[in-house]
């Protein structure tokens, strides 16, 4: 299991990740909107923007980020990302975190995962949950 920060931007995610890489070191792995199964959901002109990226830095530092069609303000542009390879645990965590909150994407299969979902808990914290492994 892992818990990481997930940052959402209005089109400058790659620049932000390069900035963090200059501070922490490490390697950036990214997927662009163009050529992905989600390309049809991207705003016009966003093909080269970041659909999903991870900065894997030394000492266990991991920052994930994306450019999303929704507008985000600094300080309100993050979620906590929970990852596990245990599907029963993922469903249990999702159920407990969503109690009293709002599900923004129910757990469902995606092109990258057998089970992925998003929610805002009753305290206003955004969560992304993902079953690790191949879809």
Q: Which of 13, 111, 99, 100 is nearest to 63 (CA)?
A: 13
Whether 2 and 61 have beta carbons less than 8 Å apart is answered as no
Hey, which residues does 119 pair with through a beta bridge?
103, 127
Q: Is 84 helix (H, G, I), strand (E, B) or coil?
A: strand
Q: What is the pLDDT along the chain (135 residues), one digit of tens a residue?
A: 788 899 999 999 999 999 999 989 999 999 999 999 999 988 899 999 999 999 999 888 899 999 998 888 888 899 999 999 999 999 999 999 999 999 999 999 999 999 999 999 998 889 999 998 765
Residue count (the chain): 135
2-131 folds as: 2,3-Dihydroxybiphenyl 1,2-Dioxygenase; domain 1 (3.10.180)
Structure tokens at 131: 């079953």
Structure tokens at 61: 């530092």
Domain ranges of the chain: 2-131
């Amino acid at each position: 299991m892992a818990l990481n920060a997930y940052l959402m931007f209005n089109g400058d995610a790659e620049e932000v990740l390069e900035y963090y890489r200059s501070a922490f070191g490490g390697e950036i792995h990214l997927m662009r909107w163009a050529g992905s199964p989600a390309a049809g959901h991207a705003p016009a002109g966003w093909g080269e923007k970041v659909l999903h990226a991870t900065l894997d830095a030394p000492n266990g530092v991991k920052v994930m980020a994306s450019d999303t069609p929704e507008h985000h303000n600094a300080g309100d542009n993050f979620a906590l990302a929970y990852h596990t390879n245990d599907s029963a645990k993922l469903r249990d965590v999702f159920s407990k975190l969503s109690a009293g909150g709002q599900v923004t994407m129910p757990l469902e299969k995606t092109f990258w995962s057998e089970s992925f979902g998003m929610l805002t808990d009753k305290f206003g914290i955004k969560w992304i949950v993902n079953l690790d492994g191949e879809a």
